[in-house]
Amino acid sequence: MAYENRDRVKIGLEIHVQLNRLKTKIFCGCTTNYHGDPPNTHVCPVCLGLPGALPVVNRRAVEYAIRVGLALNCGINEHTQFYRKNYYYPDLPRGFQITQYDYPIAQQGHVTIEGEDGEHMVRINRAHMEEDPGRLVHEGTIDRSKYTLVDYNRSGIPLLEIVTEPDLRSPKEARRFLDKLRNILEYLGVSDLDLEGSVRVDANVSIMDGNRTEVKNISSYKGAEKALLYEIVRQKNLIRRGKTVTQETRHFDEAREITVSIRTKEEAHDYRYFPEPDLVPLRVRDWVAKVKEELPELPDARKERFMTEYGVKAEHAKTLTGQLKLAQKKQ
């Protein structure tokens, strides 16, 4: 797409993946199987952030995070640690989110996709663990809603946030990266990707080396492509009129297929990160070898094997391995 090359589009993604194949939440024993149940029925003092309730790390969630990090060609840090990310929002009952900051579980990986002009490497900055906040339900659109309801069933669901470098150059490349990531996650078996809210995308986008905007909580891969297309055109039109693109956080309204401003963009210091005093640092170096042994054959490896063993052409092998069920039938 010519306009993207000319306008120097830079896109980075933050993908929030629920590790919902686990039976319990990340810091308590509540079930992760909340879909379809009445609001606020799968909660306890821990995931509601009540005074005196102490979190305990779900070991299997850490192993799942290592599994994803290895599949994304990341290095797994010898030590990892949880922090408090301080901000107030109705879906965050503690007033802070337990997440990772200086010591994420995985860093410095990469994924290769089919880019606009051949194979293109997308660098993975980090993958870090955190708890999912609750879910806000708006009456109508977020900027016109008369009231908002809060459901805390989702609060505390194990979440892995995968952060890319701004290596994507078009909405089409972003969609291809997301499709590739979904393929990898499906093979790993760490998330039921068909459940609502299992994967949510935040997209950072800038053009012509200007200020970037962040589009939050995009709920589908198709929505991510549409949101980026709209946002690029919006920024282009501002620059053409001699205006400056404001660094801000925007929301993608899927019904109207537009982005709307919700707040100025926060920086890391605004969250006043500090180590979570109720959780000790984790030494996970000794876990990596065991997790690596449990890794399944991943899409790219299976594609190469199909080409070698069955004499399948590259494009056919890609199709056959694009969905796990289809790839398993071919074996």
CB-based burial label for 197 (10 Å; 0-12, 13-18, 19+): middle
Taking the mean position of all CA atoms in its chain, how far away is CA 10? Answer: 18
Q: What number is the average pLDDT over the span 233-258? A: 92
Q: Which pair of structure tokens corresponds to residue 270?
A: 């605004």
Return d(Cα 10, Cα 302) in angstroms, integer: 31
CA 62 centroid distance within chain: 16
**Cα dihedral 97, 178, 135, 62 sign:** negative
pLDDT for res 323: 78
Residue 317 reports pLDDT greater than 90:
no
Residue-wise pLDDT for 31-71, tens only, equals 999 999 999 999 999 999 999 999 999 999 999 999 999 99
Of residues 144 and 283, the one with the higher pLDDT is 283
Supply angle C-alpha 94, 283, 181, rounded to 5: 70
DSSP-H helix ranges across the chain: 2-6, 59-71, 171-188, 221-240, 288-294, 299-310, 314-321, 324-330
Is residue 328 over pLDDT 80? Answer: no
Question: What tens digit of pLDDT does each residue of 140-170 get?
Answer: 777 777 888 999 999 999 999 999 999 999 9
Mean residue pLDDT across the chain: 91
> Regarding predicted confidence, which is higher, 4 or 195?
195
pLDDT band at 6 (very low <50, low <70, confident <90, very high): low
68-110 pLDDT, tens digit each = 999 999 999 999 999 999 998 899 999 999 999 999 999 999 9
The confidence score (pLDDT) of residue 254 equals 86
Q: Report CA dihedral (275, 280, 281, 285) to the nearest 10 degrees.
A: -160
